[in-house]
């Protein structure tokens, strides 16, 4: 009787373990979250924040750039201008929500009036 109990307990333990492992394995296949590439173009050398190469859609991406004296820096996400969220020396701050597509973040220096 004791041997039958041990066999039943081992079988139940194996069934529970197999069920847990199978459900964990299958959940990784059900992950439908997409990530999209973010490509930097133009004068992006002034970016001081480490931007990742890809983001999930809907993630708010925040980054900073060095201030460019006697000029301005316009930043475009897929052709649409991003407005600075904060402007104070020595950094300019920007943010955008990652769209559901591969995207291009373009940095354009706009000449200022140097006044010479």
Residue 116 lies in a domain: no
**Burial (CB count within 10 angstroms: exposed 0-12, middle 13-18, buried 19+), residue 94:** buried
Give residue 96's domain range: 36-111
Of the two residues 102 and 21, the one the predictor is more confident about is 102
Q: Are strands 84-88 and 36-42 parallel, antiparallel or unpaired?
A: unpaired
User: For residue 42, what pLDDT is reported?
Assistant: 95
User: For residue 85, what pLDDT is reported?
Assistant: 85
- Mean pLDDT across the chain, nearest whole number? 81
Q: pLDDT for 51-77, tens place per residue?
A: 999 999 999 999 999 988 888 899 999
**pTM of the predicted model as reported, rounded to 2 decimal places:** 0.67
User: For residue 86, what pLDDT is reported?
Assistant: 76
Residues 41 and 4 in one domain: no
Residues 3 and 42 in one domain: no
Residues 68 and 107 in one domain: yes
Residues 10 and 52 in one domain: no
Residues 52 and 92 in one domain: yes
Of the two residues 66 and 28, the one the predictor is more confident about is 66
Share of the chain above pLDDT 70, in %: 67
Torsion of CA 94, 98, 103, 104, to 10 degrees: 0
For the chain, the domain total comes to 2
CA distances from 106 to 27, 75, 80, 81, 102 (A): 37, 6, 10, 9, 13
């Amino acid at each position: 009787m004791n041997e039958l109990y041990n066999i039943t307990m081992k079988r139940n333990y194996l069934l529970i373990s197999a069920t847990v492992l199978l459900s964990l394995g299958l959940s990784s296949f059900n992950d439908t979250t997409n990530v999209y590439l973010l490509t930097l173009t133009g004068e992006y050398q002034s970016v001081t924040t480490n931007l990742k190469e890809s983001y999930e859609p809907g993630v708010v991406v925040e980054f900073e750039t060095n201030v460019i004296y006697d000029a301005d820096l316009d930043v475009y996400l897929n052709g649409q201008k991003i407005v600075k969220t904060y402007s104070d020396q020595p950094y300019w701050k920007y943010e955008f929500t990652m769209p559901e597509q591969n995207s291009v973040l373009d940095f354009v220096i706009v000449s200022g009036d140097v006044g010479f």
